[in-house]
Amino acid sequence: FGHRFKFLQRFKFLKTDATSTTDVDAIVSACNKMSMSKTGALIVFERNNNLDFLTSSGDEMNIKVTQPIIESIFFKNSPLHDGAIIVSNNIVKATRVILPVNNEKNIPQRFGLRHRA
């Protein structure tokens, strides 16, 4: 959407001088496949700001981004599936990351971290 209509180019704070080496095609393919089974995923891309304060809330990893890796992390029976992942330069830096959650009281407690974030 952003590239096709050059919509994001209007926002200067989104521009970066560094080029990202993240394999976006693998992530998009994994998301498309997970959408067929209605599997949710929170994926955070580290760009200009260091996200170590979030990384420390989860399990640190050092895994190259591939479609099967993304799918296996968010598989519902995987111990890593609850929470978010942080991706930086085509590397999954952390899994099970706890993002700041919504403090709304009308969100039922039965919902997990992905729903609350």
Which pLDDT does position 67 carry in this prediction?
92
Q: Is residue 11 part of a domain?
A: no
Q: Is residue 13 part of a domain?
A: no
Cβ neighbours of residue 71 closer than 8 Å, sequence gap 6 or more: 30, 33, 34
Residue 62 DSSP label: E
Count of domains for the chain: 1
Which pLDDT does position 70 carry in this prediction?
92
3-state helix, strand, coil in the chain (%, to 5): 30, 20, 50
CATH, residue 111: 3.40.1700.10
Tell me how far the alpha carbon of residue 78 is from its chain's centroid: 16
Q: CB 27: neighbour CB atoms within 10 A?
A: 20
Q: pLDDT tens, 42-81?
A: 899 988 888 888 888 888 989 999 999 999 998 888 878 8
